[in-house]
Structure 1
Amino acid sequence: MFKKFTREESVTALNQAKSSVARAIKTKIAEQFPYLEDNGILDQLMPKKMPIYVAKCAGHIGLVVVDNQPLFFNNRDGVYFPTLRLLMRYPLMMPRLRVDRGAIKFVLSGANIMCPGLTSEGATMHNELGEGAPVAIYAEGKEHGLALGMTAMSTADMRDTNKGVGVETLHYLNDGLWKITHVE
């Protein structure tokens, strides 16, 4: 999704959200990530007095920007995902899956995560998830997340079939969104 993403070419508009739109965004994020809401982190990330900007990007991608930093993104008004920089600050905010060491180089090049990379020795499915669930991807032996994606099948199906795409990768370390630290 963000392989060739650049601030100059991909962001088509940056507009301050009306207070009602900002509240709706914050409410939806709070529903999706109760960890942030329960621990008071969401109010620190998106204070009431701080304006929230929405950057419209090529490919129907929306970025939620606060204090010139992209915090969340979504596709076509769908599910919100945190940026990897935000996930690194709050690693418990979303369900996690861990790939084995052999999958790391493929994930870092933007490949989807295959079921054998999630079911082999060294890999772990920390949470039981259904199809279409947003997940953070971690790697065996690594402390921080290396990608974000959406499950293509349930974790039970991943174990049973053990072939095909298990997680569709949306954002990974060193992609275009990772390289953007400020949006102005």
Structure 2
Amino acid sequence: MFNKWNPQNLKRNVLKSSLRRKIQKAIVEQYPALESLITTLMPKKKQLEVGKAENHLQFYIIESTILFFRWRQGPFYPTLKLLHQIPSLLPVYYVDEGAVKPLMGGAQIMMKGLTKLPNELPEENIPAETVVAITCIGRKNAFTIGLTVHSTEDIKKINNGSGIKNIHSINDGLWKFEIH
């Protein structure tokens, strides 16, 4: 998604406190695990900015650090840098070592790659349209964030085609982007 992304003309605005509270509430609704951490991530004394880029892409920024991004009114996606700080934030899917390079290049996560290791699929049924982390077996941190195309149960049944849409990976444009 961000492999060829060039953040030219990122327009940043400080959010008013009412909109800030609304954003924080929406993030906690999507990620209940952040309820006790949201004021630590977004302290009142620090300005929360929204950066707007092309294609209705929005970034939520504290002190030049992008914490979340989203398109239009879609789901909030944590950045991988935030996910590395809070690894339990997202459900995790596992892939083998052979999938790492193509996925970091922007490839989609195919169902066959997920079911190849059936014991590594999440135990609970993760619904379609859920933001998830992709990790390589034997590694600690996620290297990709994706959006499920199908539920875990459907991935097991169908086992053909794309299972998770690749959104953000280590070494893509968002990973490398620094705000000054």
Q: Give 1:36 deviation, angstroms.
A: 1.5
Is structure 2 residue 17 aligned with structure 1 residue 19?
A: yes
Q: Which residue of 1 aligns with 2:111?
A: 115
RMSD over aligned CA atoms reads: 1.4
Q: Give 1:77 deviation, angstroms.
A: 1.8
* Partner SS for 1:2: coil
Q: Which residue of 1 aligns with 2:39?
A: 43
Task: Encode CA deviations 1:95-118: one digit per residue, 9 max, x unaligned.
Answer: 111112221111111111000111
Q: Which residue of 2 aligns with 1:76?
A: 72
Distance 2:136 2:66 in 1: 24
Contact 2:96–2:137, Cα closer than 8 Å, also in 1 = yes
Distance 1:21 1:98 in 2: 36
Q: Which residue of 1 aligns with 2:99?
A: 103
Contact 1:137–1:146, Cα closer than 8 Å, also in 2 = yes
| 1:157-172 correspondence to structure 2 within 5 Å | 157-172=154-169
Distance 1:133 1:19 in 2: 28
Q: Which residue of 2 aligns with 1:177?
A: 174
Contact 1:113–1:168, Cα closer than 8 Å, also in 2 = yes
Distance 1:123 1:55 in 2: 40
For structure 1, the residue ranges without an aligned partner over 5 or more in a row are none
Q: Which residue of 2 aligns with 1:57?
A: 53
Distance 1:179 1:105 in 2: 17
Distance 1:6 1:75 in 2: 16
Task: Encode CA deviations 1:38-58: one digit per residue, 9 max, x unaligned.
Answer: xx3211110112110000011
Is structure 2 residue 138 aligned with structure 1 residue 141?
A: yes
Q: Which residue of 1 aligns with 2:30?
A: 32
| Residue among 54, 79, 89 paired with 2:85 | 89
Contact 1:62–1:76, Cα closer than 8 Å, also in 2 = yes
Q: Which amino acid aligns with 2:135?
A: Y
Q: Give 1:123 deviation, angstroms.
A: 6.6
Q: Which runs of 4+ in 1 moved over 2 A?
A: none
Distance 1:103 1:12 in 2: 32
Q: Give 1:164 deviation, angstroms.
A: 0.2
Q: Give 1:143 deviation, angstroms.
A: 1.0
Q: TM-score, structure 1 length as denominator?
A: 0.92
Contact 2:95–2:117, Cα closer than 8 Å, also in 1 = no
Q: Which residue of 2 aligns with 1:2?
A: 2
Q: Which amino acid aligns with 2:2?
A: F
Contact 1:13–1:56, Cα closer than 8 Å, also in 2 = yes
Q: 1:179 to 1:122 in 2, by over 3 A?
A: farther
